[in-house]
Amino acid sequence: MEHTDALPAAPVDGTGLSSLDPRYRTVLRIVGMIWSIPVLIAATVPGITIANWSLYAAIPAVLVVGLLILRFPSRRWAARGYSLADERLRVVSGIMFRSDTVVPFGRVQHIDVGQGPLERAFDLATLTVHTAGTHNSSVALPGLAHEDALAMRETIRAAIRRDTL
Amino acid sequence: MNVHAGTGAGMSGEARRTDPRSFAVKGLGMLTQLALPLGLASVTILDDGDVGDLIAYFLPVVLAVIGANFLFAWLGWRRFTYQVNPADIRVESGVVSRQARSVPFERIQDVSLEQRPIPRIFGLVEVKFETGAGGKDELSLAYLSEAEGERLRELVRSRRDGETVGMADEIRSEPDSELLFAMGPRRVVTFGLFEFSLIVVAGFAGFAQQFDFLLPFDLWDFDEWQARLAGPGRWLAGLGFAAQVAGALIAAATLLAVGFGTGLIRTVLREWDFRLERTDKGLRRRRGLLTRTDVVMPVHRVQALRIGTGFLRKYFGWHRLGVVSLAQDSGNANHDVAPFAQMAEIAPIVATTGFALPPAGLDWQRGDRRYRIDRFVLGGIVLGALAIALAFSPRPELLAIPLVGILAIALVEFHDWHFSANALDPRQVYVRRSWLSPKTSIASRVKLQSVEIAQGPIARHRGYATLHLGLAGGRLSIRGIGQERAGKLRDAILASIAKTDFSELV
């Protein structure tokens, strides 16, 4: 909390950040696959219904699907990160639109640990902290191993309790 | 009368009803809503002639409707009870389906009293409990006697502050208070003149446009105008230039009168007899001509201040002071505590809230010039493309419009860059924004909740960022500042946040 541990001049950078669980990349891939279903349907339906439809017309669709399944998940995974240092939760995310949010433990109102169906299948969880502010009233950090998320919740809760006592 | 009248009540949970007169008030309210349909019905029915016969059928129906109204109002009143428990306020309501709602004292941010015209005649108030749930889900008791409303408010305040023992007897209905700011009729009228409403003028002009089918020609079709002036309809041209000018002046004067009139009326209704007092529970504000509101804002729950002024009024030194608090004015982003005042009058109010006005030697920092340049370039590209498209259209003279737009963007961005600034001192963050009407936000560093640095693709490439500060009950962002400045502000603010826990603030 002294200025010595101040973050470097470039505000959104990855130093000192923990990366998310590698399984989260797989989850993002599966989400990409789900999204590619409508793309593939849109690309194949004319091929079946219209006679003499060139197969080359499907190439852009295949490219999009490749991006959705292979490229975007790993880039999104790499763009995300978090840190719990100095009694603050720091969440960094976004490829194009970067955001770097810091919530000091002393400002956390309550904490949620949630699991969607895909996350449950991979034993992952999303940690959400709620603040009293209108902006960033809830800050979500997806892609944590479930036991890590629970441990982080305990860490934050212990810090809050210690502060209030 | 209440189910249990008296002052000692309130410690244990006793179900009370609202004031019996409120049923009369609600019945009257419903009746006024019925007046128009009944009036219309009677006109159409009685128009048919054969009055004596029809009235025999019509009158019982009317009486039955009115009777049913009062019956429902009475039933609703009978079945609506509230109960003040040691830890919460409980309300049960509903004639057929019953609802029970419990609001813990800890969650009640504020209690406000509101008097609409009809209840005011009966000396009744509507008590609203603000929980921060926002708007529709707030608990309200309509209507209680003024004394009971005041008692409930004091009770909730004391409960919240943790003094639970025997306060019911100690409550003073009128705690000693010090007048901080008041607006007499003269000030309110001056204020009203500055509240000239462009929106209403635009709306009125739009209305005129909507109903111009009542005119024998199309007011807005300039080609037709030219045809009329040139063709056989020379009547307007024949009236002479002076008459045309006079007509235009009359139209403009009408619009101006409408704009000033609505501004004046709205302001007088809202701000009449404005009084801001300092009581031991916080800032107490009373205002309103027909609907009188009475709001108390606890000083320690003020999160930030906003000082604004207007395009014209800044030359006369008039400013507006609002506080951002956990409990909000209905629908409004901040509580007005001095809507129209000189800085000399605002200074003592600011001091009361525990904040400070920007000191003279403050190190104001402007935003990043590149942010403004990029905004100008982006706007310029869009309007430039439009200009090129128009140049090849059948109406190339319209080209001038996007070109003027580009010039306007340049002016706006330069002006905004020149007057917007941010500053930091050991206790507070100051954000000044300006496009024609300067606004300054003053936030306490420890009362912020989170800090976010956001960058879009262009911003990241060019090295500027937007800093979003989590403010309870409002928004506070600093747009387009250099990323070094953003990082510096973030570190400094986070360092002061970490020193105090939330529970010590609220």
- Do residues B420 and B440 make contact, with C-beta atoms less than 8 angstroms apart? no
Q: Say if residue A106's pLDDT is above 50.
A: yes
Q: Do A11 and B470 touch (CB under 8 A)?
A: no
Q: Could you say which of B220, B240, B270 is where a domain stops?
A: B270
Q: How far apart are CA B478 and CA B414, in angstroms?
A: 17
- Which tokens hold the place of B115? 């008097």
Angle of helix B198-210 versus helix B241-271 axis, rounded to 10: 130
- Do residues B367 and B421 make contact, with C-beta atoms less than 8 angstroms apart? yes
Q: Do B465 and A2 touch (CB under 8 A)?
A: no
* DSSP element (H, E) containing B147: helix B146-160
Q: How far apart are CA B144 and CA B19, in angstroms?
A: 5
Same domain assignment for residues B471 and B483: yes
Same domain assignment for residues B279 and B348: yes
Q: How far apart are CA B193 and CA B211, in angstroms?
A: 28
Q: How far apart are CA A154 and CA A111, in angstroms?
A: 10
Residue among B483, B495, B501 whose CB faces A164 most closely: B501
- Would B200 be classed as within a structural domain? yes
Residue B325 CA: distances (Å) to CA of A103, A156, B298, B328: 20, 26, 9, 6
ipTM, 2 dp: 0.83
Q: Which domain holds residue B505?
A: 438-506
Q: Which fold has domain A81-164?
A: PH-domain like (2.30.29)
Q: Do A136 and B470 touch (CB under 8 A)?
A: yes
Q: Could you say which of B352, B376, B394 is where a domain stops?
A: B352
CA angle A90, A92, A96 (to 5 degrees): 160
Q: Could you say which of B301, B328, B352 is where a domain stops?
A: B352
Work out the percent of chain A whose per-residue pLDDT is above 90. Answer: 45
B456 neighbourhood in chain A, CB within 8 Å? 96-97
Q: Say if residue A134's pLDDT is above 50.
A: yes
- Do residues B320 and B330 make contact, with C-beta atoms less than 8 angstroms apart? no
Structural domain count of chain B: 3
Task: Provide the pLDDT for residue B223.
Answer: 58
**Chain A residue whose CA is closest to B457:** A96
Chain B residues contacting A, CB < 8 Å? Answer: 326, 448-457, 460, 465, 468-477, 483-484, 486-488, 490-492, 494-495, 497-503, 506
Average of per-residue pLDDT across A101-116: 87
Residues A17-69: pLDDT tens digits? 899 999 999 999 999 999 999 988 888 887 777 777 777 777 888 898 999 99
Check the CA dihedral A48-A54-A57-A62 and report its sign: positive
Q: How far apart are CA B267 and CA B269, in angstroms?
A: 5
Distance of CA A48 to the CA centre of its chain: 38
* DSSP element (H, E) containing B192: helix B185-194
The closest of A134, A109, A91, A102 to B476, measured between CA atoms, is: A134
Average of per-residue pLDDT across A108-115: 85
- From A32's Cα to the closest Cα of chain B, the distance in A is 23
- Would B28 be classed as within a structural domain? no
Residue among B450, B473, B503 whose CB faces A131 most closely: B450
* DSSP element (H, E) containing A101: strand A98-104
Q: Where does chain A hold its CATH 2.30.29.30 domain(s)?
A: 81-164
- Do residues B98 and B108 make contact, with C-beta atoms less than 8 angstroms apart? no
Task: Provide the pLDDT for residue B149.
Answer: 87
- Do residues B278 and B328 make contact, with C-beta atoms less than 8 angstroms apart? no
- Would B8 be classed as within a structural domain? no
- Would B15 be classed as within a structural domain? no
Q: How far apart are CA A40 and CA B256, in angstroms?
A: 60
* 3-class DSSP state of B19: coil
Task: Provide the pLDDT for residue B8.
Answer: 38
Specify the higher pLDDT residue, A3 or B206: B206
Residue B76 CA: distances (Å) to CA of B22, B23, B97, B99: 11, 8, 11, 12
Choose the mutation target among B324, B450, B505 for the interface with A, i.e. most A CBs under 10 Å. Answer: B450
* 3-class DSSP state of B265: helix
Task: Provide the pLDDT for residue B434.
Answer: 79
Chain A residues contacting B, CB < 8 Å? Answer: 1-3, 6-12, 86-88, 96-104, 106-109, 131-137, 139, 160, 163-164
Give the sheet arrangement for strand B99-104, strand by strand. Answer: B15-17, B81-84, B88-93, B99-104
- Do residues B312 and B263 make contact, with C-beta atoms less than 8 angstroms apart? no
* 3-class DSSP state of B341: strand
The DSSP call for residue A71 is I
With a CB cutoff of 8 Å and minimum separation 6, the contacts of B377 are none
The closest of B152, B124, B128, B153 to B140, measured between CA atoms, is: B128
Task: Provide the pLDDT for residue A77.
Answer: 92
Average of per-residue pLDDT across A108-134: 88
With a CB cutoff of 8 Å and minimum separation 6, the contacts of A86 are A1, A5, B498
- Would B236 be classed as within a structural domain? yes
Choose the mutation target among A75, A135, A157 for the interface with B, i.e. most B CBs under 10 Å. Answer: A135
Task: Provide the pLDDT for residue B137.
Answer: 57
Q: Splitting chain B (506 residues) into consecutive groups of 10 residues, what average pLDDT does each group show? A: 39 74 79 75 64 71 82 85 84 79 75 83 84 60 86 79 44 64 93 82 71 54 56 56 78 84 90 90 86 83 89 89 71 74 93 91 92 94 92 85 92 91 92 85 91 93 93 88 92 86 64
- From B490's Cα to the closest Cα of chain A, the distance in A is 9
**Chain A residue whose CA is closest to B469:** A135
B502 neighbourhood in chain A, CB within 8 Å? 106-109, 132
Q: Do A134 and B475 touch (CB under 8 A)?
A: yes
Phi and psi at B485, nearest 5°, equal: -60, -40
**Chain A residue whose CA is closest to B505:** A107
- Would B501 be classed as within a structural domain? yes
